[in-house]
Amino acid sequence: MEIRRTIKATDEEMSRVFDYDEILNVKYCEKQKNGLFRVRFRIPECSLKDSSVPITLKKLKENVVKACSDTYRVIADVTYSDGTTRRIYASTFECAEEYAQKHGKEDGKPTQIIKRYWED
């Protein structure tokens, strides 16, 4: 399904989400004024609706994960070999592993994952 939302974010944040994000699949992005973007996202079927009320990317991600909890059954806290951590949401363990590798490459971090904590 697709939703349209007004997002409050920096150009850098929107660029990162537009390039790759495991939850928010950006289909269209239009910059407005004062750090606002009008964005069309593709997400799994859930109860979220379109809205023009500005929201941050972090809050929207939380809302999508909560509304689509049957889709994002795997939550992985990944620690990279440089010591940084990241929470990955996925539908399968294989997807979580793939997303962890992609995030490592996107951030320019070593892609060797040294610790994993899985929850269902």
DSSP string, 39-56: EEEE--S-S---EEEEEE
Cβ atoms within 10 Å, residue 21: 17
In this predicted model, what pLDDT tens digit does every residue of 23-42 receive, in sequence order? Answer: 888 999 999 988 899 999 98
DSSP reduced 3-state for 84: coil
Over pLDDT 90: what percentage of the chain? 25
Choose between 11 and 93: higher pLDDT: 11
Distances in Å between the Cα of 71 and the Cα atoms of 23, 40, 119 are: 10, 20, 14
Q: Where are the beta strands (DSSP E) in 21-84?
A: 25-31, 36-42, 51-56, 74-80
pTM, rounded to two decimals: 0.74
